[in-house]
Amino acid sequence: MITKKTVKDVDLEGRRVIMRVDFNVPLDSAGRITDDTRIRAALPTIEYVMERKTKLVLMSHLGRPKGQEKEELRLVPVGKRLSELIGRDVIICKDSIGEETKKIISGMQNGDVALLENLRFHKEEEQNDPGFAQELASYADVYVNDAFGTAHRAHASTEGIAKLLPAYAGFLMEKEINFLGKLLYSPEHPYIAIIGGAKVSTKIAVLEKLIERVEVLIIGGGMCYTFLKAKGFEVGNSLVETDKVNLAFELIKKADEKKIKLLLPLDHVIADKVEEEAKIRIVDTNAIPPGMIGLDIGPKSIRVFKKEIKAAKTILWNGPMGVFEIEKFSKGTRQIGKALASSRGTTVVGGGDSVAAVNAAGLSGSITHVSTGGGASLEFLEGKDLPGVVALLDK
């Protein structure tokens, strides 16, 4: 297991604290926040630190400004929303570094909260530039990381700074490490993984790792057609990664050798185009006509997958079962979500789109752990060291 020191393991009373949070929220074209989940998710740690009469400096990235100052990616609306949520003023800095920022920070009183401007306005953030990290570190005595979603990147605010200050995990970070760590190191069996989404290529490493651990591996979503192709089925115009067919074949063979149940969909919702207006049909796996596209798992698959979910003690789900953004192709994803929600086992959902699907269906409250980090949770489950996690103090 990975165990890291948390904010509870350090005396914060009256100290200067700098905290990396994930305030990378979705914005609409008018620059309004469309979903403040990530801000609210950081509140327990923010409030815990604030209650200790600290000078608290928060920092985050927003979008992909690629080292340029972008008006539409300023953190001002985020700071305002945060201020409403915590019921007090937030000092919003116009930059993350520089003389003016330094002056503002050094004028902070105990109990004050400041928010630095979007870290990625400086290319040095993603380059993990030591000078940039040093400047951030100069604002504080203690560093806290509560941004699990960026922990797989060695950036100045996630890794560089952790070498310069005593570094602790926030509560969100701790929760992710605990739940995902349990899946990686000591899952209760039977352990079943349901992997879907668009591409095999983004999930090869995690599939290889999971095959070592699970009793049942279910593959749905767009990536199932590469596997079906490997098994010799005709899949029409469904999404296939031709250069990954061999790899899919190897994974099928490996599962066989290890006596792991690798389940692919038995039937599919097909259409000739990926649109709400498309006419749909349900066909078995051996009957996908030329020109048609598999866009969701069918009712037989749902029934079989649900039965497996019901029998499992640990269930990991990553990647939707179909093009769930379109109502017609969303049933498989919704039904799998429901099956997880009614399971009595430990249920973990990771991946940006699967988490969005679970939230949209109002099911997140019934899932044991909804991971906030898409790429980070996959890398963690692959067994990789995440630089932002490694850099924190060990318990």
Binding mask 166-205 for ligand ADP (x = CB under 6 A): -------------------------------xx---x---
User: Residue type at 251?
Assistant: L
> CB 29: neighbour CB atoms within 10 A?
6
Catalytic residue among 4, 16, 20, 38: 38
Residues 323-342 that bind ligand ADP (CB under 6 A): 323, 325
Distance CA 376, CA 341 (A): 23
Joined together, the tokens standing for residue 382 give 């692959």
Report how many residues bind ligand ADP under the rule CB under 6 A.
19
Candidates 72-80, 103-111, 181-189, 313-321; binding stretch for ligand ADP (CB under 6 A)? 313-321
Residues pairing with 283 in the sheet: 268
Q: Is 351 in the site for ligand ADP (CB under 6 A)?
A: yes
Q: Which does 325 bind (CB under 5 to 8 A by kind): ligand ADP, Mg ion, none?
A: ligand ADP
CA distances 384 to 127, 153, 155, 380, 387, Å, are: 20, 12, 17, 5, 9
Candidates 39-47, 134-142, 251-259, 351-359; binding stretch for ligand ADP (CB under 6 A)? 351-359
Report yes or no: 336 and 309 within 8 Å, Cβ to Cβ.
Answer: yes
> CB 71: neighbour CB atoms within 10 A?
8
Q: Which is nearer to ligand ADP, 39 or 297 (CB)?
A: 297
Q: Is 265 in the site for ligand ADP (CB under 6 A)?
A: no
Candidates 65-73, 180-188, 206-214, 315-323; binding stretch for ligand ADP (CB under 6 A)? 315-323
Shortest distance in whole angstroms from residue 97 CB to Mg ion: 32
Q: Is 199 a catalytic residue?
A: yes
Q: Is 149 in the site for ligand ADP (CB under 6 A)?
A: no
Shortest distance in whole angstroms from residue 321 CB to ligand ADP: 7
CA distances 214 to 25, 185, 355, 393, Å, are: 34, 12, 21, 31
Q: Is 79 a catalytic residue?
A: no
Q: Which does 354 bind (CB under 5 to 8 A by kind): ligand ADP, Mg ion, none?
A: ligand ADP
> Which contiguous run of DSSP H or E holds residue 178?
helix 171-185
Shortest distance in whole angstroms from residue 238 CB to Mg ion: 19
Distance CA 87, CA 51 (A): 13
Q: Which is nearer to ligand ADP, 15 or 209 (CB)?
A: 209
CA distances 236 to 228, 291, 295, Å, are: 11, 5, 11
Q: Rule CB under 5 A: which residues touch Mg ion?
A: 352-353
Distance CA 108, CA 298 (A): 59
Residue with tokens 């009614």: 342
Shortest distance in whole angstroms from residue 198 CB to ligand ADP: 4
Q: Which residue in the set 265, 322, 345, 373 belongs to the binding site for ligand ADP (CB under 6 A)?
A: 322
Q: Is 63 a catalytic residue?
A: no
Sheet strands (E) in 186-299:
191-195, 216-219, 261-263, 267-271, 281-284, 293-297
List all residues 6 or more positions away from 40 whose beta carbon is below 8 Å from its beta carbon: 85
Catalytic residue among 15, 80, 199, 306: 199
DSSP assignment letter at 150: G
Task: Name the residues annotated as catalytic.
Answer: 38, 199, 352, 375
| Chain residues that interact with ligand ADP, rule: CB under 6 A | 197-198, 202, 221-222, 239, 294-295, 318-320, 322-323, 325, 351-354, 374
